[in-house]
Amino acid sequence: MTRRLLIKKVSFYLFASLIGFFNLIPFFWMVSTSLKARKALAVLPVQWIPEEPSFEAYQRLFQLFPFARAIWNSVFISVTTTVIVVVSASLAAYVFAKVPFKGREVLFTLFLMTMMIPGQVTMIPNFLVLRYLGLLNTYLGVLLPTIYNAFATFLLRQNMRIIPDAFLEAAIIDGASHFTIFSRIVVPLSKPILAALSVITFMGTWNDYLWPLIVLTDRAKMTLPVGLGLLNTQYGNQYNLLMAGGLISMVPILLLYFLAQKHFEQGLSIGGIKG
């Protein structure tokens, strides 16, 4: 019996490490490449560890492209989007969960129906709306469409519905306004789901490619993924440069993950509903 357990344990570590290897070897390769000089890229046999490590790629990255600016753009757009989504969706979700009025269910059904339409369908007209409003190539243009997020509203509404009405009735009798009830009772009770939503929204925006690619064409306004995509078209074979850029783009998300691992995993498993 103990022998069987030992075999089980050993095979667990063997398989788990094998999969870990498959996961990590690309990152090792990424770091290794980013520390190579350009002439060490096309060398056979492949150098797993650079023979002459160099920071050339990191330096050139910031010279060739306003990369520091791209980091800032990504931070700004991701943080602002997260705030907008959380505020806008939680306000609407409160009404859908706790404030009955005529036509509410019809409106909510409309929200749910729009969730079925994939983003690619609305992408072209959204571009045209921004063009009409003169908001192409502005931060506001990237941010504005995020005020409507049916998925986030749905998610928060489902969670706010669970809050017992008795909690709110006492406040209503005391004559509290909707805003007080919302900010003093409902928001504090929804903290875990708000945290999870914030984390997935931040990460989704940080990593988003298509929408900022369409809206932001000015190099000084690009986010990290768009900047990296541009570097790929201009310096497609200079992998030391591309790997250095890719690594830098990962650092903030990794830090955030280690700080808030629980919220991340919780958030991403509910985020799966959105796809």
- What is the C-alpha to C-alpha distance for residues 12 and 60, in angstroms, rounded to an integer? 44
CB of 37 to another protein, least distance (A): 14
Q: How far apart are CA 161 and CA 186, in angstroms?
A: 10
Which residue in 55, 72, 167, 209 binds another protein (CB under 8 A)? 209
232 touches another protein by CB under 8 A: yes
Assign 48 to helix, strand or coil. coil
Residues 6+ apart with CB under 8 A from 50: 32, 35, 36, 37, 40
- Does 121 interact with another protein (rule: CB under 8 A)? yes
Q: How far is the CB of 126 from another protein (least distance, A)?
A: 5
Q: Could you say whether residue 7 binds another protein (CB under 8 A)? A: no
CB of 55 to another protein, least distance (A): 19
Q: How many helices (H) and strands (E) does the chain have?
A: 15, 0
**Binding-site member from 65, 160, 249, 263 for another protein (CB under 8 A):** 249
The CA distance from 162 to 109, in Å, is 19
Q: How far apart are CA 141 and CA 8, in angstroms?
A: 55
Nearer to another protein, 144 or 189 (CB): 144
- Interface residue with another protein among 58, 71, 148, 195 (CB under 8 A) is 148
Whole-angstrom distance between the N-terminal and C-terminal Cα of the chain?
44
Binding span for another protein by CB under 8 A among 58-66, 135-143, 157-165, 241-249: 241-249
Dihedral over Cα of 136, 142, 144, 145: its sign: positive
Segment 183-202, which members bind another protein (CB under 8 A)?
none
Nearest distance in Å: CB 86, another protein:
11
Among left, alpha and beta (phi > 0; psi -120 to 50; other), residue 42 is beta
Do residues 157 and 111 make contact, with C-beta atoms less than 8 angstroms apart? no
Q: Which is nearer to another protein, 164 or 272 (CB)?
A: 272
Q: Is 214 in the site for another protein (CB under 8 A)?
A: yes
User: What would the x/- binding string for another protein be over residues 23 to 42, using CB under 8 A?
Assistant: xxxxx-xx--x-------xx
134 phi-psi bin (left φ>0, alpha ψ -120 to 50, beta other): left
Q: Which span sits near another protein by CB under 8 A: 51-59, 62-70, 158-166, 237-245?
A: 237-245
151 near another protein (CB under 8 A)? no
Nearer to another protein, 54 or 88 (CB): 88
Any contact of residue 211 with another protein (CB under 8 A)?
no
Residues 58-97 binding another protein (CB under 8 A) are 84, 87-89, 91-92, 94-95
